[in-house]
Amino acid sequence: MALLRKMINTSFFGYVGLFLIFLGGMGNLVERGTTGCVKDYLDFMGMVHFNVNDVLVSFGIAVLIVVIVYDKTNNNISG
């Protein structure tokens, strides 16, 4: 957690990743509060079902992973 906090404090993309996760989570929360459930309405080839909020959370996590890997390869993180 301290590693993530350090990277987020120094990285614009760390903030972007957290913001996307926050937006997706809030969207799911609002939808569950207003309709009682979170509906999946993006259908890819009949197998995978998503909603936009799930996509935001997934992209946010992907951005954070890229930030972590990029910072480690550039030796910006001590330890």
The residues assigned a catalytic role are: 40, 54
Longest Cα separation, the chain: 47
CB 28 within 8 A of CB 69: no
Which token pair is 14? 């760390």
Contact 51, 42 (CB under 8 A): yes
The residue to which tokens 């979170």 are assigned: 38
